[in-house]
Chains A and B, each alone.
Chain A
Amino acid sequence: MTDRSLPTTFGTVPKTFAWFEGRRRPPSEYEELTVGLHFGEEALVSTRVGTWTLDNTRLANVTWEDFRDPAQLHYRSWVALQDRAERELGATLDLAQQGGFVDGLDPRWRCDMATLAGGLAFAEWGVAMAMQYVERFCLSSGVGQAAQLQVCDELRHAQRALEWSDALRGTPAEANEDPARAAWMEHPAFQPLRKAVELALTLEDWGEVIVAVNLCLEGLLQPFQRELYLNTSREQSDMGSAMLGQHCWVDEDRQLAWTEAYLRMVTEADQDNRAILQGWYDTHAPGGRAALEALVTGFPFGDAAERAAEVARTELAKRFEGIDV
């Protein structure tokens, strides 16, 4: 080593970043990579769009950098996780198609499941777009990252759902004659859901978007989808649909967990926030319930859909019971 190199004991050097000093435990890798990185509200330029301002949401008095995603995922761990997941799901779906397993499924089941999965792919895409807005405008590094990873997970689900819908149908769709899109646009079972998604895409308060989408819609529909896909696929010996449902759920469980953490943080910060959340919930929950009811009616699968809906309602109530909204 030459004298121009850095001595190994170069004075007293810090072990972590200054914004973690004074804490009892050292920050996790997730925290060092995520927390405290959002750069300020005092923008140096002024446009109608703006950068970030406190009034981008009605929620107030929240220390936004206190947010922690319970999954503690950051890019490196997320991409490794999803690479493994995609290999597993991809292998199953490929085998189901190439090994002739799809051909052996009940034609009526294939038709219904193709329509359901294809339509829901559009909902996933819509949710991804809504969360892009959160990612762009929210005031918290941690919420922004959780939203961003959700955006990508939803894109994953949308692409895989459409792929599986095509496989069940047996013919890849053309853009101008797409039965999945036709179902999304016209099938009565999807219309309340599409309406709720389109309304969520017009919201301007990013805090409200999280409530409208992740609490009122995803909070009901994702447990429903999991139950429906797993239970009915088991009865139909449809490994592909079961895997799709399970993989989507693993991701969605993370999204619901960070949403719960977000709601807890906001309500604990200021009681007035509870009333704001309640107002948003009251506005958007009927749309979520209507979306669920229409799906149950449109895709009953015997009484499996109703049973799945009941599980979803119970889970939603249980997951968010401590928040009192």
Chain B
Amino acid sequence: MTQNTAEYNRTKRLYWEPSYVPKEAIYPPANYEGIYFKDWDRWDDPFQMSFKQYVEIQAKKDNGFHPARDAFDRYGGTDRMDRRWLEGMKVVFPLLFHGEYGALRSHARVSRYAPAPALRAAAFYQSIDELRHSQNHVYQMRMLNKHTEGFNNWAEWKRYHFLLQPGKMLFEDIVASENVFESVVGLNILVELAYTNLVFVGIPSVGVLNRDHAGANEFLTTQSDETRHMAIGQSTLRTLLEGDDRNLEKLQYWLDKWFWLLHRIIGCPLGMIPDYFARKKALPMQQMFQRYIVDNFVAGLIEDLVEFGLQPPRFLDDAVREMEDAGHSLFRTLFQYKHMLFNKMFVPDEHDMEFFGEHYPHWEERHGAFWDEVRAGDPKDLPSLPMLCQVCQLPCVFPVPESPTIRCSEWNGEVRWFCSDGCQWIFGHEPERYSKAVGLDRVLTGKDVAQIREHMHLYGKLGGVLEEC
């Protein structure tokens, strides 16, 4: 037995069966209702981490990461970052913070209530990792805040601004999942296994081109922790599928649901970063999505687990189809609300148009006319918020604003509107869970722009157009 294994086994030994209170009072079965497994002791953490190892590894990482960021700023790196990229980061960092902070709390619940002792121990380390990530994102915003406007009130904007509401909704939804295994599927499988490669590997490769070395460094050190989280998700999913056939239906539903929510709330908006906010570009978002999500995540996961009956995510084809337009449609929409944003927008230049023409064959036909009209002098500003989807809270503008796939359902005598078949399907399965949200579009009905800005805590010259562009 290696020393690591011995230390890990000690943690597994710490479980005991309570006798002064019923076991169900400490581990309420509602936390894993509908999931069947005979021997929870069989679940193992693939990394077999001990506290000693954890702090040793993490201290080394931090010793490398923080001085690099400080040096980047001290020697003028922040001032040399591309301004467009910086405007994109004003949206990205608050969203990422939201995700990490939600994950921190969600893993805390898994570590408290999961029925498998080793899974609880593994979730310990995940939860504290997420504290690291969330604070690293704050370090970035703290640094950037000293150089430019648009980072100083992000904690309030995530409460009140329509641009950050989808992220708030997504991660609150994971935090509030009743079944800890839904949290594991949503976080460890969909967020971490599927999307962190796209976010923390794909995006920094473009960030470096735009002189954001500190941001790239931060994303990559974050991703180095995610590898452990992915393995825990994969191990859990396989263990449950192997353990009992009855688990398949629930796991498949969670895979279908969280795949769509992640696609819609992370994948679609993220497309604006490499395709628009990156002046110097690398892979277009559509290709990144194909590489990281379709080829790596879906193909890898399904190949691994098809023997247990797991199928590709229900709305995979819709997601793939949408990636042709999603980022472009959202960028256009945000441009129309540039006077209600905390970051600045801009008109794509010739270099952008060349890139779009090369990688998105339908771009000119579907989006070109909009920008032609802007160049001709139409600011395209809109006075009130667009209709927001009841489930994802994003504007109902997909795949393209001229012909959106708007859906509606009646529930409890009220009509609810959705941006897609995916969101409508999710609502149909869990209407009580998703009917609570009152979108900002409804809250701010009848308000003028000044009132909307005030509600969203936008003061001074925030928003508008980036002058140099």
Task: Say which one of B137-145, B333-341, B405-413 lies at the interface with A.
Answer: B137-145
Tell whether A180 pairs with B13 under 8 Å between CB atoms, given A36-B155, A49-B178.
yes
- Counting CB contacts under 8 A, is B279 at the interface? yes
Interface centre among A4, A36, A87, A156 (most CB of B within 10 A): A4
Within 8 A of A (CB), among B233-264: none
A51 to chain B, nearest CB (A): 5
Q: Is the CB of B436 within 8 A of A79?
A: no
Interface contact B104-A148, CB-CB below 8 Å: yes
Asked if B75 CB lies within 8 Å of chain A CBs, one says: no
Given contacts A37-B134, A202-B25, contact A195 B83 (CB under 8 A): no
Contacting pair B66 A76 (CB below 8 A): yes
Residues of A within 8 A of B158 (CB): 39
Q: Is A173 an interface residue (CB 8 A)?
A: yes
Structural contact, A50 and B20, CB atoms closer than 8 A: no
Query: Which residue of B56, B141, B434 is within 8 Å of A86 (Cβ)?
Result: B56
Q: Are A18 and B152 in contact (CB under 8 A)?
A: yes
Tell me if A268 counts as interface (CB < 8 A to partner B): no
Asked if B139 and A33 sit within 8 Å, CB to CB, the answer is: yes
**A39 CB contact (under 8 Å) in B108, B168, B435:** B168
- Would you give the 0/1 interface string for A1-34, flagging 1 where the beta carbon is closer than 8 Å to chain B? 1011111101101111111000000000000111
Q: Is the CB of A74 within 8 A of B52?
A: no
**When the two chains form their complex, are residues A32 and B142 in contact, meaning their CB atoms are under 8 A apart?**
yes
Q: Which of B65-86 contact A (CB under 8 A)?
A: 66, 76, 78-84, 86
Of B11, B41, B59, B393, which is within 8 A of A80 by CB? B59
B176 contacts across to A, CB distance below 8 A: 43, 45-47, 49-51
Interface residue B447 (Cβ < 8 Å from any Cβ of A): no
Contact residues in B for A198 (Cβ distance below 8 Å)? 18-21, 26
Query: Do A185 and B26 have beta carbons less than 8 Å apart?
Result: no
**Is A159 within 8 A of B10, CB to CB?**
yes
Of A55-63, A125-133, A238-246, A275-283, the stretch lying at the interface with chain B is A125-133
CB of B162 within 8 A of chain A?
no
Across the interface, which residues of B come within 8 angstroms of A194, CB to CB? 20
Q: How far is the CA of A202 from the CA of B6 in the complex (A)?
A: 31
A57-81 contacts to B, CB under 8 A, are: 74-76, 79-80
Please, how many angstroms separate the alpha-carbon atoms of A284 and B468 in the complex? 65
Surface stretch bound by A, among B124-132, B187-195, B295-303: B124-132
- Inter-chain contact B26/A44, CB cutoff 8 Å: no
Q: How far is the CA of A7 from the CA of B434 in the complex (A)?
A: 45
A40 lies within 8 A of chain B by Cβ? yes
Q: Assess whether B159 is interfacial by the CB under 8 Å rule.
A: yes
A143 to chain B, nearest CB (A): 12
Q: What bracket does the count of chain A residues touching chain B fall in? A: 35 or more
Shortest C-beta distance, A33 to chain B (Å), equals: 5
User: In this assembly, does B387 line the interface, its C-beta being within 8 Å of a C-beta of chain A?
Assistant: no
Q: A151-B124, A152-B51, A198-B26 are in contact. Are A129 and B80 (CB under 8 A)?
A: no
A44 and B172: CB pair below 8 A? yes
Q: Which of A15, A19, A82, A144 is B105 in contact with, Cβ under 8 Å?
A: A144
B296 CB → nearest A CB, Å: 29
State the Cβ distance, A308 to closest chain B Cβ, in Å: 25
**Contacts A16-B145, A121-B14, A185-B19 hold; do A1 and B135 have CB atoms under 8 A apart?**
no
Q: Digitize A169-209: 1 where CB-to-B-CB distance is under 8 Å, 0 elsewhere.
A: 00011010010110011000000001100110110000000
Residues of B within 8 A of A51 (CB): 172, 175-176
Please provide the chain B residues from 1 to 44 with a CB less than 8 Å away from any CB of chain A in the complex.
1, 6-7, 9-14, 16, 18-21, 25-26, 30, 41
Instruction: Quote the shortest CB–CB distance from A149 to chain B (angstroms).
Output: 8
Contact, CB under 8 Å: B80 / A184: no
- Rounded to whole angstroms, the CA-CA distance of A8 and B82 in the bound complex is 13
Question: Measured between alpha carbons, how far is A121 from B51 in the docked complex, in Å?
Answer: 14
Least Cβ–Cβ distance between A6 and chain B, in angstroms: 5
B332 at the interface (CB under 8 A from A): no
Closest partner residue, chain A, to B171 (CB atom): A39
In the complex, are the beta carbons of B108 and A86 less than 8 A apart? no
0/1 string, B291-327, CB within 8 A of A gives 1 = 0000000000000000000000000000000000000
A210 to B: closest C-beta gap in Å:
15
Closest to B104 in A: A148
Contact of B135 among A6, A50, A75, A83 (CB under 8 A): A75
Query: CB-CB < 8 A to A49: which residues of B?
Result: 109, 176-178
**With an 8 A cutoff between CB atoms, is B169 at the interface?**
yes
B436's nearest neighbour on chain A, judged by CB, is A46
Instruction: Answer whether residue B418 sits at the interface, using C-beta atoms and an 8 A cutoff.
Output: no
Return the contact of B16 from the options A17, A149, A185 (Cβ within 8 A). Answer: A185
**B residues 48-63 touching A (CB-CB < 8 Å):** 50-52, 55-56, 58-59, 62-63
List the interface of chain B (C-beta within 8 A of A).
1, 6-7, 9-14, 16, 18-21, 25-26, 30, 41, 50-52, 55-56, 58-59, 62-63, 66, 76, 78-84, 86, 97-98, 101, 104-105, 108-109, 111-112, 120-121, 124, 127-128, 131-132, 134-135, 138-139, 141-142, 145-149, 151-156, 158-159, 165, 168-169, 172-173, 175-178, 211, 279, 393, 432-437, 461, 468
List 4 additional A-B contacts (Cβ < 8 Å) besides A76-B135, A129-B111, A135-B108. A8-B147, A122-B16, A159-B50, A184-B16
The 9 sampled A-B contact pairs (Cβ below 8 Å) are A6-B81, A7-B79, A10-B147, A18-B156, A152-B51, A152-B124, A155-B11, A180-B13, A201-B18
